[in-house]
């Protein structure tokens, strides 16, 4: 069973949380100038890596705050949690196909 | 190829079954193939079979990093149905249901296709409206099915507790839905493709593509470099990893999906019964095990495991609907990695790289489509243009906006 560290509540069982996919995808500012290609890429396309993944979680059955997690999707090892707005922590990759 | 028949069975019995030929060869890879299929699941093997059988392309290899059928094909709960909402889906999935009917004869391999019927139960007015809308849509597509009242459901499934916490208010029954034996589908296609000259190469992982001037020329594998005129990638949960090797992204995320089976018991569950409302479905294998599943784990992962909380939720729903099963012992549990698109429809498509085709995004529900998917994908690769049934499922739809939204049809029901 996976344990996740909420930056506000501490280490809790994964079933208290909800995952919301890849983090650090900024909404484009020039929304009127965007082509269908660019809109589609922003809304639907994801890197979905096997290895290091920076992702958003909500502590749904706890404090209901959003935060980010760095996790290895090949092993489910959780490396770090950090608050929204903070920079990605640098993680020394442990799997072959893990990326920046 | 040694044909499987009653006469051959008798003939081989005389030699204590010592002389059966291996079901397929295990050749070393050649330097070059006309077409290489990456991924030896049901969809990849079916593609190779139809390439050789119907498109006259026999210089074909299937490269599988583990053992064939070891991915989602050998991990799924084998439910077959075609009661999807949109015309595009109905055409594609019903094409598969058509092929399932004659598949054992076609492959000379018993895939144990059993159209025992699939029942979706509704627990709320909203559920009823959803099956009503979907039921009417599939009637228009000529796919046989019927609405059932609670009284009719009780007659068919006497052990169901309709008066549970979210009472059962009705159902949609597709008579020709059912199950098939997953391993037999992989092995049957492999054996039949091999007999037509296709090389099936196991323990051969693709680790990179050789792309020149925007066209794929071949690939690096754990068994050395292989060149190919065309490449079809059919790797389910790992499609984003392969796309990354080719330099593009997909509108897909990979999640674990779990299933479990009970100890074998005498026949008691005659149909496949699923509930999107309380999140669980059940059927019984011919060995007698109850086959149980539910929704996927809700975070991306490649671990083929998943969390215990999902199993607990699933079994709570099962016990609520079928109190008689509360003391059944579960024997095995496992997970597969499913490749999920936002519109819950697959991707059969050309890619930004010429001569590189992807067949993926089948997510939690692609087993049922295996023969149809392989069939249209083979024709698409051979002709270099997507088959009419495959065309609506291109990657471009995520940029054009022409999604094929099957969210409701495949919520929990795989
Ligand atoms: C628990 C569970 C229950 C399900 N229940 C149902 C159901 O009831 N009904 C239904 O219709 N569908 C169901 N599905 C979905 C269904 O199993 C899949 O959609 C379908 O089997 C996909 O087949 P495939 O051949 O595309 O993929 P797979 O069978 O997964 O084959 C892909 C293959 O590619 C190989 N591969 C990956 N990377 C590489 C590489 N780099 N090089 C070479 N090979 C590689 C893998 O090892 C794998 O064998 C379920 C899935 C799961 C996990
Ligand atoms: Zn918290």
Structural domain of A59: 3-27+41-82
Examine residue A93 and state whether it is found in any structural domain, yes or no. Answer: no
- How far lies B413's CA from each of B82, B85, B120, B282, in Å? 11, 13, 8, 10
Q: What is the CATH number of the domain that holds A65?
A: 3.30.2270.10
Q: B71 CB under 6 A from ligand 1?
A: yes
DSSP B114: B
User: What is the per-residue pLDDT for B414?
Assistant: 65
In a domain? residue A70: yes
How far does residue A16's CA lie from ligand 2's centre (Å)?
Answer: 9
Tell me, rounded to whole angstroms, the distance of Cα A4 from its chain centroid: 12
Q: Is residue A62 situated within a structural domain?
A: yes
Residue A85 has a pLDDT of 92
Is the model's pLDDT at A99 over the cut of 80?
no
Lookup result for tokens 């996927």: B296
Kindly give the pairing relationship between strand B356-360 and strand B224-233.
parallel
- Paired strand residues for B199: B61
pLDDT, one tens digit per residue, over A25-40 is: 999 999 999 999 999 9
Q: Is B63 in the pocket of ligand 1 (CB under 6 A)?
A: yes
Beta bridge partners of B224: B221
Q: How far apart are CA B381 and CA B52, in angstroms?
A: 12
**Count of CB atoms within 10 A of residue A86's CB?**
11
**Residue B412: predicted pLDDT:** 56
Cα torsion B86, B88, B92, B95: sign: positive
- As a whole number of angstroms, the distance between CA A3 and CA B299 comes to 13
The pLDDT value recorded for residue B310 is 93
Residue A75 forms part of a structural domain: yes
> What DSSP designation does B262 have?
E
**Considering the domain boundaries, does residue A67 fall inside one?**
yes
The CA B125 to ligand 2 mean position distance, Å, reads: 35
Burial class (CB in 10 A: 0-12, 13-18, 19+), B154: middle
Domain assignment present for A92: no
- The answer to the question of residue A98 being in a domain is no
Q: What is the pTM of this model?
A: 0.96
Q: Is B401 on the interface with A (CB under 8 A)?
A: yes
Is residue B78 within 8 A of residue B291, CB to CB? The reply is: yes
pLDDT at B81: 87
Q: pLDDT at position B176, please?
A: 87
Establish whether residue B310 lines the binding site of ligand 1, counting it when its CB lies within 6 angstroms of any ligand atom.
Answer: no
Residue A18 has its nearest CB partner, among B254, B298, B399, at B298
Q: Total domain count for chain A?
A: 1
What are the distances in angstroms from CA B384 to CA A96, B45, B91, B399? 34, 19, 21, 22
Distances (CA, A) of B281 to A35, B75, B399: 42, 15, 34
pLDDT tens for the 414 residues of chain B, in order:
889 999 999 999 999 999 999 999 999 999 999 999 999 999 999 999 999 999 999 999 999 999 999 999 999 999 998 878 889 998 999 899 899 999 999 999 999 999 999 999 999 999 999 999 989 988 898 888 999 999 999 999 999 999 999 999 999 999 989 999 999 999 999 999 999 999 999 999 999 999 999 999 999 999 999 999 999 999 999 999 999 999 999 999 999 999 999 999 999 999 999 998 888 999 999 999 999 998 899 999 999 988 999 999 999 999 999 999 999 999 999 999 999 999 999 999 999 999 999 999 999 999 999 999 999 999 999 999 999 999 999 999 999 999 999 986 665 556
Domain annotation covers residue A72: yes
Please give the residue of chain B at the shortest CA–CA distance from A44. Answer: B251
């Amino acid at each position: 069973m996976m344990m996740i560290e909420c930056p506000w509540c501490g280490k809790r069982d994964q079933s208290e949380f909800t995952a919301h996919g890849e983090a650090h995808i900024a909404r484009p500012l020039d929304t009127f100038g965007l082509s269908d290609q660019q809109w589609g890429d922003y809304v639907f396309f994801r890197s979905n890596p096997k290895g290091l993944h920076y992702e958003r979680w909500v502590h749904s059955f706890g404090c209901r705050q959003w935060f980010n997690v760095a996790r290895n999707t090949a092993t489910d090892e959780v490396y770090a949690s950090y608050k929204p707005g903070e920079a990605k922590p640098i993680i020394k990759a442990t799997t072959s196909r893990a990326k920046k | 190829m040694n044909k499987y028949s009653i006469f051959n069975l008798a003939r081989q019995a005389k030699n204590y079954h010592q002389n059966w030929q291996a079901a397929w060869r295990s050749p070393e890879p050649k330097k070059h193939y006309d077409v290489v299929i990456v991924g030896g699941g049901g969809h990849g093997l079916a593609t190779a079979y139809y390439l050789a059988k119907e498109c006259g392309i026999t210089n074909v290899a299937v490269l599988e990093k583990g053992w064939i059928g070891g991915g989602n094909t050998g991990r799924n709960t084998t439910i077959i149905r075609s009661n999807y909402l949109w015309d595009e889906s109905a055409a594609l999935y019903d094409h598969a249901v058509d092929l399932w009917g004659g598949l054992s004869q076609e492959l000379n391999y018993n895939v144990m296709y059993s159209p025992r019927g699939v029942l979706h139960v509704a627990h709320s007015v909203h559920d009823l409206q959803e099956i009503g809308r979907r039921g009417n849509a599939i009637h228009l597509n000529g796919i046989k099915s019927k609405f059932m009242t609670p009284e009719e459901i009780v007659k068919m499934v006497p052990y169901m507790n309709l008066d549970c916490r979210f009472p059962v208010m009705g159902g949609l029954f597709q008579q020709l839905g059912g199950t098939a034996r997953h391993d037999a589908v992989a092995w049957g296609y492999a054996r039949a493709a091999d007999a037509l000259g296709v090389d099936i190469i196991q323990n051969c992982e693709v680790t990179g593509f050789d792309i020149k001037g925007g066209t794929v020329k071949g690939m690096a594998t754990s068994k050395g470099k292989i060149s190919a005129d065309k490449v079809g990638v059919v790797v389910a949960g790992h499609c984003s990893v392969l796309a990354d090797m080719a330099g593009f992204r997909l509108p897909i995320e990979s999640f674990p999906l779990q299933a479990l089976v009970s100890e074998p018991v005498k026949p008691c569950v005659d149909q496949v019964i699923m509930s999107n409302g309380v999140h669980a479905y059940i059927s019984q294998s011919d060995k007698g095990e109850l086959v149980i599943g539910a929704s996927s784990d809700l975070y991306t992962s490649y671990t083929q495991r998943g969390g215990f909380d999902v199993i607990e939720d699933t079994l709570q729903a099962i016990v609520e609907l079928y109190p008689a099963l509360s003391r059944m012992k579960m024997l095995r549990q496992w997970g597969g990695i499913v490749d999920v698109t936002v519109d819950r429809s697959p991707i059969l498509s050309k890619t930004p790289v010429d001569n590189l085709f992807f067949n993926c995004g089948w997510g939690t529900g692609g087993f049922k489509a295996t023969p149809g998917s392989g069939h249209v994908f083979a024709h698409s690769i051979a002709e270099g243009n997507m088959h009419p049934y495959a065309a609506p499922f291109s990657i471009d739809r995520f940029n054009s906006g022409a999604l094929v939204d099957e969210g409701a049809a495949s919520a929990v029901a795989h």
